[in-house]
Structure 1
Amino acid sequence: MSRRSERGLTMLELSVVLAIIGVLAALSFATYERLSVRTGPQNAAADLSGALSEARARAVDRQAEVWLIIYPDIDDQGVAGQGSGGWFLVEDRRRDFGSTSAPPAGHLRYATFTPPGAVEPSPDQGSLVDAIYMDDYTRRSVRFGSTGQLVWDGVFAGLAPSACSFCTGTPRRGAIVFREDGSARLVDGAGTTFVPTGAGAVQRAGSLGLVSSDGQHEFLFAVSGPAGFVDSRSR
């Protein structure tokens, strides 16, 4: 064994190795972040699509009402107009979440549901199944919205693209309520049943939209009640 191998690395050699490792780590992180920004909108659309499917399936399976509550422009502190929006999936076993009467102690109502703090029903009332803020996707790469470049055809032809066609109030919000038989109804910000205008399927449908921060990618969702049918488009 040589005397050089016995003494190990010099400080200079060790510094060079650490510098190389640092450069490689920085390049890997930058590559990962760019990939995350590109895939963020697709991931958000897949998450929302999954939530719509989960809500309908859970309502039928659990024989409960399941609320998908949409806030199209809040941040993760619940401040209206300051973020990219969020959605919350709430299972309502007692079917009283939408009631206007005073709730029992510890119970939530749609009227008192307030992100990020007051979002968890009591265990005997139901459960918060999921909560997603669009700002959590890398570099806020996706938000609720629509560019108007993607339009509906087929049974939903004429349905206006929208971040949330049934969302009203301040903060803007709305909900899709799936029932035990798989049907659905739309609810506006005040908790009133929302009745769309238009002919045919459009008259019974609500529209949701997601758009990437660069405007290059867009995803539309249509929910038709009373059937609870969900359709989607993307570009």
Structure 2
Amino acid sequence: MHSLVIEDQPTIGTYLGRLLRDMCGIVDIVETNAEARQAPGTFKYDLAAVDRVLQDGDTFDIVVALNQFSERPAIVMEDIIDELNSGADNYLSKPFEPQELLARLRAVLRRPRLLAPPVLSFGNVELKPGINEVTVAGRRVLLRRREALILEAPLMRRDRVIARHALIEEIYGFDDETESNSLEVHVSRLRKKLSELGGDIEIRSMRGIGYILWMASPR
């Protein structure tokens, strides 16, 4: 899952980023209206936490713009009044308590498009999203964060190909430095782990298109 934080107070932005990263995966943090307007054109976001007023102006029009996307993110706004009139799904006033923020985030994440099952499975592989724990042939191990995100993406799209660019969007933020073959390196490591653990599925490359989960050939 890919989240966007629009917040010009570094302490709050860092806190929100850490919280969302633990809950959801990849998080981008922007501090100005100019950056916030550019971000949705770079990535497709599932969740946006938006400060109502930044130092360089009001973010009302940004929330309105986010609502124009065919696959709009769930939106939580901080502070002031008219938040819900702008199209936000929930709001909270500053200063807010951590538990109150968690409650708001969980409320918007209950939207069916965003709510992943507690366990994703295919063959003898089971993944618990958010905690990066995979069970393969009865053996439990923790994956690296990006490995877990790579596995989660096709598990959420059973029997469908996930395009390479879409997978990159799900595992990297725009502040991450990515080399041309970095995705393939992560996929290769994940394949090796699944194989060594006795997994009966494989992540198959579809040349020029992307990746799909497939039942592995019997050994």
TM-score (norm 1): 0.26
Greater CA radius of gyration, 1 or 2? Answer: 1
- Structure with greater helix share of residues: 2
- Where relative contact order (Cα < 8 A, 6+ residues apart) is larger, the structure is 1
TM-score (norm 2): 0.27
